[in-house]
Structure 1
Amino acid sequence: MNVPRKPNVTKIQSTYVSEQEEKKRKASKRRRVVAVRLAFWASLFTVFASVLLYALHLQAKTIDGKTAEKQRLKEELAKLERQEKQLKEEMKKLHDDDYIAELARKKYYLSRDGEIIFVLPEK
């Protein structure tokens, strides 16, 4: 079996070598700090973007609801306008005595003198 051996190399103890090792440690620490900052800002951006997308979704849903309600109200308005027009025509007709007499004969089965009313069954 092969057992890994320790290298037989020793480090040189000089100011240059210690300065280089210190630079490597500082660079490593700096990279770690930058990575943590980047992760923090990325997560913060993700949360912010999620909140904005959620708000956008809610607004779109609200707009769709309001659009549907607007369409429904337009249809209801058109229906009420037609009804108003019919009622105004009915009001004009109610000023005519002949129309009132005809209406009374149809609705209340009133007859003129000498008339006989026959009620036929509807289909």
Structure 2
Amino acid sequence: MGTKRKNVTSLENQYIVDQKNSEHRKELHKKRLIRRLSLFIVFAVVVSGLLISSMVTRANVLEEKQAQKVQLDEQLVQLKKDEKKLNNEIEKLNDDEYIAKLARRDYFLSDEGEIIFNIPEDGQTASDQEN
């Protein structure tokens, strides 16, 4: 048995041409759809990346601002304490007796008839005090 080749001729009628054109259009449509979907996916990934980056940046900024707020609140509390002390000191400095007491203590000033004695603090000797 020899190899017999069958020659098949294709029919070129209108139906076959329409079917080939239809398949060609479907293939083109499929390629365009894949391109559009690919482009959309790339666009969605880029936009998502930008949004996530923005959110992370804003979260870091917010965290820094909150830490700064805590620090400033602590500073405000300390400044209010200092303000109370200074206001109390102002009131005391308006009192003549307090000023006289400070002058006696800090500058060793005395009233008439007073004698000032230096008493060493606990743990100091007379020779330590002279130096």
Same fold (TM over 0.5): yes
1:85 paired residue number: 84
Pair 1:20-2:49 in alignment = no
Maintained 8 Å contact 2:103/2:109: yes
Give the CA deviation at 1:122.
6.1
Query: Partners in 1 of 2:6 and 2:81 — Cα distance?
Result: 103
Tell me: CA distance 1:103–1:35, structure 2 relative to 1, closer, same or farther (3 Å). same
Structure showing greater Rg: 2
2:64 paired residue number: 65
Most deviating of 24-33 and 95-104:
95-104
Amino acid at match of 1:78: V
Give the CA deviation at 1:41.
1.1
Give the CA deviation at 1:86.
0.3
Give the CA deviation at 1:9.
6.9
Tell me: CA distance 1:30–1:79, structure 2 relative to 1, closer, same or farther (3 Å). same
Query: Partners in 2 of 1:9 and 1:30 — Cα distance?
Result: 34
Amino acid at match of 1:85: K
2:127 paired residue number: none
Maintained 8 Å contact 1:111/1:117: no
1:1-123 matches, within 5 Å, as 10=8, 12-13=10-11, 14-112=13-111, 113-121=113-121
Tell me: CA distance 1:117–1:10, structure 2 relative to 1, closer, same or farther (3 Å). farther
Maintained 8 Å contact 2:108/2:116: no
Query: Partners in 2 of 1:88 and 1:82 — Cα distance?
Result: 10
Tell me: CA distance 1:9–1:95, structure 2 relative to 1, closer, same or farther (3 Å). farther
Q: How many residues align?
A: 117
Q: Secondary structure at the match of 1:104?
A: helix
Pairwise CA RMSD of aligned residues?
Answer: 2.2
Amino acid at match of 2:77: A
